[in-house]
Structure 1
Amino acid sequence: MLKIISNQDFDTFSNNAKLAPRQRSHHNLHEQLDANVQRLFISTEPDTYMRPHRHSESHKWELFLVLKGQLDLLIFNDEGQLTQRHSLSPDTNRAIEIPPGTWHGYACMSEGTVGLEIKEGAYLPTQPQDFASWSPAEGEDGADAYRDWMRTAQPISE
């Protein structure tokens, strides 16, 4: 089946994110969670918190493209120090591929941001050991402050 995503769909995705308690929404293109390739649009608003995590399975790379708005990708070392920051937007870097085992998180930098995530399936919920223990869980005390820190933090000099 041919799947067409229009600018009007982007507006709908963004409106869904604005109305969502987590300030983000997903629109899957894959029909089954066990699909070999996961393809989904992720709409985000600046108040969303995307906790640093990794995909520890050796085949779980992640390709992320920003089609509207801006997300900043943050890369961390095992101790939780920010080592890289990359702007993703139609005006900067459009896409980035993250290798398996890389600690990363995203900071939404503008309203109405829409990205496309592609990664190898099947979908499995992130395991507790793959969320960064040095960052607060979503909804915990300190999560909003950590999200705000993520928006402005700069990498350490190595």
Structure 2
Amino acid sequence: MTINQEILDDLTEQAKVSERLRMNLDLRDSADDGSQRMLNAIEPGSILPIHRHQKTSETMVCLRGKLRVEYYDEQDCKYTESFILEPNGINVAVNIPMGMWHTVRALESGTCILEMKNGPYEPIKEGDVLKI
């Protein structure tokens, strides 16, 4: 599969009309594929809870648009650090360490990322969402 602008445009249009203001496209070969690889179109205003992944790190590559990655401290439930990802910016990708509390916020319409994690998909459990 070639990932082109047409695919990103289509995913963005779906995200714009989605209640969550985001839409993903599974890039795995089959449901038996033990990895997680997806395109994720995220529009400004989409709410992604502050969460962590206890069994895997998470790699994000900004293909289009601009987003802010935010890290949080579990002990104080406070924001600790953020940085911007954009295709032609200083930072184009990030590898979020396993267990790191984080969220992302789209800063431009049309923002699309490539997201990868180890192992099969596991929904985020209640204990892995930070309550602020």
CA deviations over 1:55-113 (Å, ceiling 9, x no partner) = 112xx010000010011000000122111101000132110001111000011100000
Partner residue, 1:36: 34
The answer for the alignment partner of 1:72 in structure 2 is: 68
SS in 2 for 1:105: strand
Aligned residue in 2 for 1:89: 86
Q: Tell me the TM-score normalised to structure 1 length.
A: 0.79
Q: Over the residues paired in the alignment, what is the CA RMSD in angstroms?
A: 1.1
Q: Secondary structure at the match of 1:35?
A: coil
Q: Which residue in the other structure is 1:61 paired with?
A: 57
| Bigger Rg, structure 1 or 2 | 1
Q: Is the 8 A contact 1:30 1:38 kept in 2?
A: yes
Q: Higher relative CO (CA 8 A, sep ≥ 6), structure 1 or 2?
A: 2
2:112 corresponding residue in structure 1: 114
Q: 1:87 is aligned with what amino acid?
A: I
> Residue deviations 1:2-39, cap 9 Å, x none?
x1121111100110100111000000101445522211
The answer to which structure has the higher helix fraction is 1
Residues 38, 119 of structure 1: 8 Å contact kept: yes
**Equivalences, count:** 130
Q: Which residue does 1:9 correspond to in 2?
A: 7
Structure 1 unaligned blocks of 5 or more: 135-158
Match of residue 126, structure 2, among 125, 128, 134: 128
Instruction: Report the CA distance shift for 1:34/1:127 in structure 2 as closer, same or farther (over 3 A).
Output: farther
Provide the C-alpha distance between the structure 1 equivalents of 2:9 and 2:105, rounded to a whole number of angstroms: 20
Q: Percent identity at matched positions?
A: 29
Calculate the TM-score normalised by the size of structure 2: 0.94
